[in-house]
Amino acid sequence: MIENRVVLITGSASGMGRDTAFAMAAAGAKVVINDINEEKVVQTVEELKAQGYEALGVVANICDRASVEDMVGTVTSEFSGIDILVNNAGMERAGPIRNLSEEDWDITINVNLKGAFLCTKAVHSQMVKKGFGRIINIASRAWLGGSGQAPYSSAKAGMVGLTRSIALELGKYGVTSNCIAPGLIHTPMWDELEEKTRKYLLSKQPTGKLGETRDIANAVCFLATEESSFITGQVLYVCGGRSLCAS
C-alpha cells in the first residue's frame, strides 16, 4: 500500500503527472507537486488540499542540480523523507534531423534524462538508508525509435538504461527502479493535433483507442507499492498493444 508514503512527482502540475498525484493522494500518499510552472503548481496543490489530501508544491527546474537539491531538502524537512520518486517531467522537440538544432537536442536530453538522473541522485541515499524506495521513470514507447524523434527517443532510451542501472545498483537495498513506457495518451497535446494526424495515429492503435492519463496513474500506483518489490529493472508498456506492431 502507499498510505502515508511520500511521493515526489516531477512535472506534476499537468497531464499524467497531475493525474498520478491525485490517484496516489486518493490512495493515502502525501504528494509533492513539482513543476517549473509556478501558477499551475499552486493551483494543483490547492485542488489537492481542497479534496482533503496532504500535498506540497515545489517550483524547481529539474535540470538544475542546485534547484533539485533544494527541492529534496525542502520536501525532506516538510515531510519525513521521500519514499517514491516519479520522474515524469518531460518534453519533446521533434523534427527531421536536418532541422534539429544542438539546442533542441540539449533541452530534450536535459529535461527527460538529465533531470531524472539529478532527481534520482538527490533522493536515492535516503531510500537506501531506509531500506525502501521506488523510482518510477516515465519513459515512452518512443524509446524504441521514431522518425523525427531523434532527441526524444534518445532521451527516453537513456531513461531505460538509467532505470536498469539503478535497479542493478540499488536492488539489494530494497530500492526498485522501473520504467513505464506510455503509448498514445489523451492529454491536452492530443486535442491540439490536426484531425488528419489524429486519425492516422489512431489507425496504428491495436485497441483503436487512446489511453487516458489514469491508465498511467494506475501503473505507477502498482509499481509504487510493496506488492511490486520483486519487480525491478523492467519496462512496463502502457500503450494498448502499440509496442507489438509496426508503425
Ligand X SMILES: NC(=O)c1ccc[n+]([C@@H]2O[C@H](COP(=O)([O-])OP(=O)(O)OC[C@H]3O[C@@H](n4cnc5c(N)ncnc54)[C@H](O)[C@@H]3O)[C@@H](O)[C@H]2O)c1
Q: Which residue in 152, 173, 200, 237 is the catalytic one?
A: 152
Stretch that binds another protein, among 8-16, 71-79, 91-99, 207-215 (CB under 8 A): 207-215
- Is residue 152 among the annotated active site residues? yes
Q: Which residues have a Cβ under 8 Å from the Cβ of 232 and sit 6 or more positions away? A: 167, 171, 176, 177, 178
Judged by CB under 8 A, the number of residues near another protein is: 38
Measured CA to CA, the distance from residue 173 to residue 151 in angstroms comes to 33
Q: Is 237 in the site for another protein (CB under 8 A)?
A: yes
Could you tell which of another protein, ligand X, none binds residue 96, using a CB distance below 5 to 8 A set by kind? none
Residue 86 in the binding site for another protein (CB under 8 A)? no
- How many angstroms separate the CA atoms of 244 and 77, rounded? 45
Q: SS3 for 245?
A: coil
Determine the 3-state secondary structure of 242 from DSSP: helix
Query: How far is CA 53 from its chain centroid?
Result: 21
- Binders of ligand X among residues 48 to 107 (CB under 6 A) are 61-63, 88-91
**117 in Cβ contact with 68 (< 8 Å):** no
CB 92 within 8 Å of CB 113: no
Closest Cα to residue 139, out of 112, 106, 120?
112
Closest CB to another protein among residues 71, 160: 160
From candidates 25, 36, 127, 236, binder to ligand X by CB under 6 A: 36
- Residue pair 108/92 in contact (Cβ under 8 Å)? The answer is yes
DSSP conformation class of 101 = -
**Which of another protein, ligand X, none sits in contact with 151, Cβ below 5 to 8 A by type?**
none
Q: How far is the CB of 186 from another protein (least distance, A)?
A: 10
Q: How far is the CB of 40 from ligand X (least distance, A)?
A: 6
Binding site for ligand X (CB under 6 A): 10-11, 13-17, 34-37, 61-63, 88-91, 111, 115, 138, 140, 182, 184-185, 187, 189
Positions marked catalytic = 152
Binding site for another protein (CB under 8 A): 160, 164, 167-168, 171-172, 174, 176, 183, 206-209, 211-212, 215, 218-219, 221-222, 227-241, 243-245
